[in-house]
Structure 1
Amino acid sequence: MKKIYLATLMTLALGVSGVGFAAPHKDNPYTLVYDHAITKNVKGEVNIHPINYKLHGVKIAANIYTPANYDPSKKYAAIVVAHPNGGTKEQVAGLFAQRLAELGYITIAADAAYQGASGGNPRNLDIPYYRTEDIHGMVDFISQYPGVDTDRIGSFGICGGGGYTLNAAKSEKRVKAVATLSMFNTGRVRRNGYMDSQLDSIQERMAAAATARAEETATGKISYYGTVDFDALTDESIAKITNDLYREGMEYYGRSHRHPNSTFRYTTSSLMELMSWDATDNIDLINVPLLMMAGEKADSLYMTEEAFAKATGTKDKELYLIPKATHIKTYYVPEFVDQEVNKLQEFFGRTL
């Protein structure tokens, strides 16, 4: 089990390296940790509206961003934003929700059910059905928001949220355009290991997940994979991580853009669902415009390229690579974020 645990822990990290520190969550009234985050609502500017709603009886915590001079009597296109695995709405998902609102869209970024500030027990379930329902739930809520044109709703997913956004888009025909950034196919990685590094232990890890579920059922005890003590991180321990994604992820989530609701851990029993799921299954059901963005230097690029190739149900699709960018650096480096926002402006401006 020690070998499995350490390998899985490495698989969980998602991150950023060589980054300056964003403002601590406690310094922002909305606990936002990205650069140039809103600190107060000002008339005539982009505003943030923390809200809660119920999804299958679970309380969902979300932030709505409305564009400058928002008028509920007018009609606006809307975009739902899904956060990365282990992430929260206050990190990169919030950054892009705010930047898209600056372009004139009504946007929503929500914490996944059983994660972040959202409700649900046991904590930190990472089950594809629920993560996909989170996206359907955001569409449900934003469709009823004053001023939203329900014929112009788009979806945007980052990292693991990108994989779940693709999954939702297969059946979510209320969404008219789909975009992803640094897409992470959670099922493939939990099954095969990152960059297919754990192919020899698939059955062993699935058996461990089934054992964990049996223990939950019999005793109520929940076991977790991927627990990381961010306070114990050292430069030396981070430097030993060989993959850019995981090494930079430890810095992004554990240091530069740390948020108390962000965690890499998930229930061990979640692997029963994760390891038998794949974001690319039936991806040809997506028949709307598709934009997939990724860092040219990202060691996770293979997942975006695979999904893009399999997305044969739409002829309006584009793979957009950000020069010199690794996976996590697409989250925060200003020059990369500006390129991505410009591309999203072009894409959603044309399709919504």
Structure 2
Amino acid sequence: MKKLTSIIALTMSVIATEEVDAQSHQKGKQQNPYTLVYDGAINKNEKGKVNIHPVTYKLNGITIAANVYTPANYDTSKKYPAVVVAHPNGGVKEQASGLYAQRLAEAGYITIAADATYQGASGGEPRHTDKPASRTEDIRGMADFITHYAGVDAGRLGILGICGGGGYTLKATQSDKRFKAVATLSMFNSGEVRRNGFQNSQLSTVQERLKQAADARADEAAGGKIKYSGVASITDEEIAKTATDLYREGYQYYYRTHSHPNSTFLYTTSSLLDLMTWDAATNMDLINQPLLMIAGSKADTKYMTDEAFAKASGAKSKELFVLDGATHIQSYWMPEYVSQAVNKLTEFYAANL
């Protein structure tokens, strides 16, 4: 009991510290004209430096909100390689995907980070719909837009998918060969987890949850209220009691230290009809591009990267790069792990784009 009390006290101490950090991030976010919440975010565009360009475009009739990052001394008469960055589940372009997009722009790439359809600042109803087909189409839509952006060499297009965006990246690149180099960071197989539960913890309730999703769809069709799954808000005590690193640190990241008003852990319950019958790791043999998968050695999600990587039998080349000591969420923001990941990514893209 004494040991348990000490652990809880330590966890609460960490949360208290992160609450102070959260106040700092919130202040920075309010001051940032682009509402970027990551450390080192662009505050203003300056000549000779990496610049940010908020853009919108239409994808299947829906308005998509995105940020394009251009390298220092960007010259539209020159040709640059480009990288599409797909955000995590629940995330938005102002968080981890924006950080990596900015860091890759610092390395000389034109990059784009967009909010998924139905999410963030992008359009689409019902809000917070999270269907694999839409998320995969979002990635294709980013490719459509950025390959026609001034200065982009469409023949040198790479992609980085983070967390859930990593799973959708694997699926998109199985068929879309405009992407010449494929990378994932802390890949999360949304279908496998929604179906089986995290770390296969909900295998016994699959049919029950499928019925709940079908009932939610029926309610929507009848004009009823949209039902949501996930977490709308959470207390510090609830965070402290969360057993897994992924969710405990995820709640701290999304609801405390790097919160953004457009970011949420909610998704429509009816989305499970599509999510639970989908899997990022099927047809992995169709990826014939060079593949780089990055995951933390301490990430409790690493099993998903391992499963998918083993199935990538058709990749021109493939590498699993492990961030020693990193958990899943730490790869989103912790400087030492972000730097290691970015260095590896730039090495990978330089060799393959």
Q: Which residue of 1 aligns with 2:302?
A: 301
Which residues of structure 1 form unaligned runs of 5+? Answer: 1-15
Structure 1 residue 226 displacement after superposition: 1.0
Question: Which piece of structure 1 moves more, 308-317 or 134-143?
Answer: 308-317
Q: TM-score, normalised by structure 2?
A: 0.93
**Secondary structure of the corresponding residue to residue 175 of structure 2:** coil
Between the aligned residues of both structures, percent identity stands at: 65
Deviations 1:76-102 (A, max 9, x none): 000000000000000000000000000
TM-score, L = length of structure 1: 0.93
Distance 2:213 2:264 in 1: 19
Give the CA deviation at 1:315: 3.9
Distance 1:251 1:60 in 2: 27
| Aligned-partner Cα distance in 2 for 1:96–1:321 | 17
Q: For residue 279 of structure 1, what is the aligned residue in structure 2? A: 280
Within 5 Å, which residues of 2 pair with 1:1-352?
20-21=21-22, 23-24=25-26, 25-230=29-234, 233-234=235-236, 236-352=237-353
Gaps of 5+ in 2: 1-13
Say which SS state the counterpart of residue 39 (structure 1) adopts: coil
CA distance in 2, matches of 1:59, 1:273: 23
> Once the 2 structures are TM-superposed, how far is the Cα of residue 177 of structure 1 from its aligned partner?
0.2
Query: Which deviates more from structure 2 when the two are superposed, residues 311-320 or residues 54-63?
Result: 311-320
Q: In 1, distance between residues paired with 2:334 and 2:36?
A: 17
3-state DSSP of counterpart to 1:278: coil
**Deviation of the 1:228 alpha carbon:** 1.9
CA distance in 2, matches of 1:250, 1:29: 25
**Matched residue pairs, number?**
334
Which letter maps to 2:310? A
* Structure 2 letter corresponding to 1:134: D
RMSD: 1.2
- Paired with 2:181 and 2:227, the residues of 1 have a C-alpha distance of 38
Distance 1:256 1:295 in 2: 20
| CA distance in 1 between partners of 2:89 and 2:75 (Å) | 34
Distance in 2 (CA, whole Å) between partners of 1:147 and 1:125 is 34
Aligned partner letter, 1:47: N
Deviations 1:286-331 (A, max 9, x none): 0000000000000000000000001111140000000010000011
* Map of 2:10 onto structure 1: none
Letter in 2 for 1:305: D
Superposed displacement of residue 26, structure 1: 1.6
Amino acid at match of 1:144: H
Distance, in Å, in 2 between the alignment partners of 1:227 and 1:197 is: 18
> In 1, Cα distance between the equivalents of 2:30 and 2:287?
40
Q: Work out which structure has the larger RCO, using CA pairs closer than 8 Å and 6 or more positions apart in sequence.
A: 1
Q: Which SS does the other structure have where 1:219 is aligned?
A: coil
